Amino acid sequence: MNNNLIFCYGSLKQGYHNHEVISFDFDTHSKNKGYDYLGKAKTVDKFVMYDMGSFPAISFDENGKQVSGELYAVDDATFDLLDTLEGYPEHYNRKLVKLDVDEDIEAWIYFYDPESVDDTMEVLTIQSDVYEWEY
């Protein structure tokens, strides 16, 4: 059952290098039936986004910007794979956040704790009020 809502804002989005973790079943070497793409969304909470090279990282910041991304419903096995990819809880943390969509929806988002951010991390500079990561 695909009952875990996940908000993806970086390399897990369609067309990016980590999307196969969601879309491909590595056991059967076929399309993963353990996910549903639910559409585009953006966060209600505000973040700072960091350019980490081939992927972004975000950290909660009330003076930051909303983040645009994709919403998925995934099964427990896919959720476990995502936790492994994101290095949860040692590398990234995750939390339920509200999304700015037609319904009142909360989804899991992977983020850096503010204590994990250091001076070497480059803040993504954009002109928009909403971060939309592109590589």
Walk me through the domains of the chain, giving residue ranges and CATH numbers: 4-128 (3.10.490.10)
Query: Which pTM was predicted?
Result: 0.94
45-63: average pLDDT: 96
pLDDT at 104: 86
86 is catalytic: yes
pLDDT at 103: 85
Of 20, 62, 70, 86, which is the active-site residue? Answer: 86
62-91: average pLDDT: 96
Asked if 58 and 121 count as a contact pair (C-beta separation under 8 A), the reply is no
Q: Which residues contact 37 (CB under 8 A, 6 or more apart)?
A: 14, 70, 71, 72
- Taking only the tens place, the pLDDT of each residue in 78-116 is 999 999 999 999 999 999 999 999 888 999 999 998 888
pLDDT at 116: 87
Q: Give the 3-state secondary structure of residue 80.
A: helix
